[in-house]
Amino acid sequence: MLIVSCAPRSYQRAQVVNLHLHDNGGGETPIVDTYLRIHVDRLIYIGDCGDAKHLSIPKEWSPGNNIDVSLKKSRFYVKNPSGKDYACDILGKIMAK
């Protein structure tokens, strides 16, 4: 018997290190990727949060601000002020200085 748990995510505080919007260039429909770096404990996570046109970037994502995040395997989830989660694929992590 398989039991699936839908437990709510647990969040922790993280500090925004950097928010970078990368324009992938021309074409009829330009794609602007959103990269977010967050500092959690001793690590800095680099996440790809997707195309900026499909994402309302909260002002809380400014460098130095604290945000709520949930770390799960290859993604982190950022809770915005309205309570919605943004999923960001973890591209890498580095030790914080």
In the chain, domain spans: 12-95
Q: Percent of the chain having pLDDT more than 90?
A: 51
Q: Is 21's pLDDT higher than 60?
A: yes
The Cα 72–Cα 82 span in angstroms is 21
pLDDT in tens, 41-87: 999 999 999 877 767 788 889 999 999 999 999 999 999 878 888 89
Q: Is 1's pLDDT higher than 80?
A: no
What is the pLDDT, as a whole number, of residue 42? 95
